[in-house]
Amino acid sequence: MKKSIISLFLIFMLSGTAWAFNDKPYVSVVGTGVVEVVPDEMYWTLRIENFGPEIRPLSGMQSEVVAAVIRFLAESKIPEKEIQTTRPQIGERWGHQNGRRVKDGYYAASTIRFKLTDFSQYHNLWETLTGFNGMNVQDVAYGYSKKNKIQDRARALALINARDKAKQMAQELACDIGAPFMIEEASGSSGVFRKNMLMAAEADMGGRGQESYAPGQIKIENRVTVVFSLVCD
């Protein structure tokens, strides 16, 4: 009985919302706002993976490599608070031989993430990091430190775009728009731009390509849905 009352209440509420829109003519639009900024942050994701026949020496070698990488990052003036490491993963490595699945030793894997704000260190970091045993630079992404402020500006532009779009649509019908019934914000861009193509270019040139690095600009986007009343003579 209680569930039935709740269901009826929800139906009434939904019907009331639909009636509020349908009682008067309205126009629903999606507005988009985009702001381009020069990135001032770079996010790196490193994966260190090594293999060996026995767990103990493999674990020791993995720990040494991870510690060496963290020391290098500290020497490169990367703040300790900007470096994150995961616990090493150790497991059995399996392969196939003569159509059979066979055990082929063990693997050890660790992930290190850090943020770089001094872009002049990019090439030195790349060339040095790729020299560590078992190193794989998984991802490099650009970001912007004042993203929230820029997202506010993009939201304002999205609302203006929605208003202008609604006015244009209404004028085509010899009408005008009134007060908005509803404003809903959709998820916008994260403000992080991944540079997988840049990483591929660096790999092809062995980390020696000075022309492959160019931060350019990243787009921070916001979208809103606005329902305006439609006023017609």
Whether residues 163 and 174 fall in one domain: yes
pTM for the complete prediction?
A: 0.70
- CB count, 10 Å around CB of 48? 22
How many structural domains is the chain composed of? 2
In a domain, 4, yes or no: no
What is the per-residue pLDDT for 8? 39
Asked if residue 221 and residue 139 are part of one domain, the reply reads no
CATH number of the domain that 134 lies in? 3.30.70.2970
Do residues 99 and 139 share a domain? yes
Asked if residue 57 is part of any domain, the answer here is yes
Range of the domain at 111: 41-143
d(CA 169, CA 176): 9
Are both 30 and 71 inside the same structural domain?
no
Residues 73 and 119 in one domain: yes
Q: What is the 3-state secondary structure (H, E, C) of 105-151?
A: EEEEEEEEEEEECCHHHHHHHHHHHCCCCCEEEEEEEEECCCHHHHH
Q: Which residues of the chain have a pLDDT value below 50?
A: 2-19, 196-211
Residues 66 and 106 in one domain: yes
Predicted pLDDT of residue 216: 78
pLDDT for the residue numbered 111: 97
